[in-house]
Amino acid sequence: MAILEPAALIPLGWSEQFAAAFALLQEAAWEPGRAVAVHRGGTVVRTAGGEVLAGLTRRLRGPGSKDEGRPTVGDWVAINQPAGDSAVIEAVLPRSSALVRTIRTGGRGSRVSPSSRQVLAANMDVAFVVDSFESGPNLRRLERYLTLAWSSDAQPVVVLNKADLVPGGDAAVDEILQAVMAIAPGVVVLTSSALSGDGIAAIEAVIGAGRTAVVVGPSGVGKSTIVNRLLGEVRQATGHVRLDDGRGRHTTTIRQLFVLPGGGLVIDTPGIRSLELAADASAIDLAFSDVAAIAVDCRFADCQHGEEPGCALRAAVREGRLPAERLANALLLEAESRRRDAEEVVAIRDQRRKGRTIVHAVRQHYQRGPRDGR
C-alpha cells in the first residue's frame, strides 16, 4: 500500500480517499489542508506546515459559483501560496459527508432555490444529535434532527445531555432513554452531563482517533460545553439561553473544527432552528425505518396513508404498535421534502429560462451586428 502523505495531516483526518482525490489535481505547487473555520476575511486552513488564512480562487467565488461548492468547515482543500503572496484555495476535494440546511430567506412558505442550501460541515464520520433533559428531550424535534443527521451520510448518534438535572435519578433517566431509543431505530443513544463530566468518555470513544464528529442540535442544550469537556479546557464560550423573549440566543456564532487531545476531531455548530433542516426522502426512510417497514404492507403501493382501505400504518396506530405522533411527523417531513423538491425544480427551470433568454439575445446581437453596423 502507498504511504499516506503528508503524514502530518493524518491526525486531522487525512485518508487514502482524500490523498487520491488530491493527487488527481496534478498540481505540484498546491498543498492539501483542512478548513477549520470560515470567516468573513477568509478560510482558516490547517496544512502540514501550520495554519493559514486563505482566500478563494475566482472560480469558487465568482458569479455562477454555488454556495454548496465553496469550502466549509471540515472540507479538505488545495491551497496555492506563491512565495510572498497570500494563500488561495484552488479546489475543494469531494466530500465524504455533508451536513446541509435550507435557508428560507423570505420566511415560511417562501421560495427555496438550489442556492439556498448551505453546507454547514463536511467530512464527518459521526453526527452527534444533542438534546437535553432540561426541557425534554422533545421527541418530535429529535426526529427532525435525526433526519438531518441521516441525510448527511455521517453516522447519527444521540446525546442526551444535562442528565444531572433529571429529578428522580437513574430510574427517571432510564424511562426517558427508552422513549428516545424507540424513536431512533439503528441509532446509539448516550447520556451525559457536561457539567460533571459523566458520559464524556463514551462520546470520545465513539469519535475515535483520526475521525471527525459534528455536534448539532438546538441552542442551549450544551453542545459547546460538551466540546470543552472533550478538549479538556474551555475554548468555546457557553451560556444561558434567554427565555424571556422566546427567541433564544445563540452563544456559539461560528462553526469551528477542533483537534482533541485524545486524537479525534469535533466541529461545534451554533444551534440550528428545526425549520431550516433539509432532509431527502431516503434520509426520512432511514430515520423512520420502523414506519417504512410497516408501510410495505399497505394494500396500495401508492397509499397516502389517509382514508384508503388497507393502510398498514393506520392499522398499526389503531393497534397501538405505532404512536400517532410519530406517524404524523414522518408524513409531515415527507410532505416538506416533496414541496422543497418541487420548488427546486421550478427554480432550476426559471434559471434555465433566464439563461436561454441571454443566449438568444447574444445570438441576435451577433447575427444582426455587422449588418446594423453595431
Question: Of Zn ion, ligand GTP, Mg ion, none, which one sits near residue 305, judging by CB under 5 to 8 A according to partner kind?
Answer: Zn ion
Q: What is the CA radius of gyration of the chain?
A: 24
79 in Cβ contact with 27 (< 8 Å): no
CB of 199 to Zn ion, least distance (A): 39
The phi and psi torsions of 258 (rounded to 5 degrees) equal -120, 145
Helix (H, G, I), strand (E, B) or coil at 118: strand
Binding flag, residue 251, ligand GTP (CB under 6 A) = yes
Q: Is the omega angle on the peptide bond into residue 323 within 30 degrees of 0, that is, cis? A: no
- Residue from the set 160, 194, 291, 313 that interacts with ligand GTP by CB under 6 A: 194
Structure letter (DSSP) for residue 74:
T
CB of 279 to Zn ion, least distance (A): 20
CB of 208 to ligand GTP, least distance (A): 22
Q: Which residues, numbered 292-331, are part of the site for Zn ion (CB under 5 A)?
A: 298, 303, 305, 311, 313
Binding flag, residue 21, Zn ion (CB under 5 A) = no
Question: Of ligand GTP, Zn ion, Mg ion, none, which one sits near residue 164, judging by CB under 5 to 8 A according to partner kind?
Answer: ligand GTP
- Nearest CB to ligand GTP, comparing residues 13 and 220: 220
The phi and psi torsions of 113 (rounded to 5 degrees) equal -125, 165
Residue at grid coordinates 479546489: 91
Q: Cite the beta strand spans of 233-313 per DSSP E.
A: 256-259, 265-268
Residues 128, 206: Cα–Cα separation, whole Å = 10
Q: Which residues, numbered 223-262, are part of the site for Mg ion (CB under 5 A)?
A: 223-224, 251-252
Binding flag, residue 136, ligand GTP (CB under 6 A) = no
- Nearest CB to Zn ion, comparing residues 17 and 289: 289
CA atoms within 13 Å, Cβ hemisphere of 246? 0
CB of 297 to Zn ion, least distance (A): 8
Residues at the interface with ligand GTP (CB under 6 A): 161-162, 164-165, 193-195, 219-225, 238-240, 250-252, 270-271
